[in-house]
Structure 1
Amino acid sequence: MVEKILIGKVTHYYPKIGVAVVELQETLKKGDKIEIEGKTTKLIQTVTSMQLNHVNIDVAERGQSIGLKVEYRVREGDKIYKIIE
């Protein structure tokens, strides 16, 4: 059974570099499978790159605002879920 846990939301998107600024409500790790969902967004991907204050990190904690590399365009307000299989 697949479970989805709400872990944060997109607060900004940089289209030229394909990076979303994400405000986290839960911990996120490199290698986690996530789903980004919104009115016109539906994206499932594995976390490959995250940054905090322009420094690469492997783990992001609750309450942090991070840069997350995304495969496709996302929009402000899109919700981010961690997929647990």
Structure 2
Amino acid sequence: MEKPIGEITHYYGHLGVAIAKFNQAVKIGETVHLKGAHTDFTQTIESIQYDHKDIESAKKGQEVGIKVGEKVREGDKIYAV
């Protein structure tokens, strides 16, 4: 069983950006699986922002914006692939 590494806390549909809180460090280039009741897709993290500034990685416990290729919902889980 996969163990979640984070969770979606908000989604900005007009931007295609999800706010995610990670419980471990992640960086650009890592592949993640986003899964929820109506969500199920895998993608590579191509962009991470903190406080509207591009960053290379997110620290454990940090809430960051990530660009997502599909709609996600609050509460969706993020898994490492």
TM-score, scaled relative to structure 2:
0.95
Where in structure 2 are the equivalents of 1:3-82 lying within 5 Å?
4-82=2-80
Supply the AA of the counterpart residue of 2:32: I
Point out where structure 1 has 5 or more consecutive residues left out of the alignment: none
CA-atom RMSD, angstroms?
A: 1.2
Offset of residue 20 of structure 1:
0.3
Per-residue CA deviations over 1:30-52 (Å, capped at 9, x if unaligned) read 00000000001001000000100
Please identify runs of 4+ aligned residues in structure 1 that moved more than 2 A.
Answer: none
Per-residue CA deviations over 1:42-81 (Å, capped at 9, x if unaligned) read 0100000010000101110101000010000000000001
Q: Percent identity?
A: 41
Offset of residue 5 of structure 1:
4.1
Supply the AA of the counterpart residue of 1:21: I
Point out where structure 2 has 5 or more consecutive residues left out of the alignment: none
Give the whole-Å Cα distance in 1 for the aligned partners of 2:52 and 2:35: 25
